[in-house]
Amino acid sequence: MPRCWQGNRTNDFACAPTLASFDPSTISQRESTMPWIRIDLSEGRTVEQKQKTAEAVTRALVEHCGCTPETVSIVFNDVSDDNWAFGGKLLSQRGKP
């Protein structure tokens, strides 16, 4: 399966399975303005860590933005060290000449 969130931004909606089945007519105008959250992480987080993060982010949005939990959409993107760079150097190449 292609990693759509790292590619062409115009393909995000079409590629993401959670968004492909999204029916915008099922939510109110107010709720439709709620943000969709994308969290980029280095690979290695557990499902439990992501679940707790999703719960905490959802609670914060409900509290501070006045939305319902059902309208909060979060995508976790696990990025390998070969696809993440700081200061012009891939994380996978740290410590190499």
State residue 3's pLDDT score: 36
CA 90 to each of CA 9, 61, 87: distance values in angstroms, whole numbers, following the listed order: 22, 33, 8
Does residue 78 lie within any of the structural domains? yes
Q: Is 67 helix (H, G, I), strand (E, B) or coil?
A: coil
Structural domain that includes position 55 = 28-93
- pLDDT, tens only, 57-81: 999 999 998 889 999 999 999 999 9
User: Could you tell me the pTM of the whole model?
Assistant: 0.63
- Give 63-85 as a DSSP string: HHH---GGG-EEEEEEE-GGG-E
Does residue 42 lie within any of the structural domains? yes
Does residue 35 lie within any of the structural domains? yes
Does residue 75 lie within any of the structural domains? yes
Does residue 11 lie within any of the structural domains? no
Residues serving a catalytic function are: 35
Query: Position of tokens 């099922």?
Result: 26
Regions in the chain scoring below 70 on pLDDT: 1-34
State residue 1's pLDDT score: 32
Does residue 18 lie within any of the structural domains? no
The count of structural domains within the chain is: 1
Beta bridge partners of 75: 38
State residue 66's pLDDT score: 87
Does residue 71 lie within any of the structural domains? yes
Instruction: Specify the CATH number for the domain of residue 68.
Output: 3.30.429.10
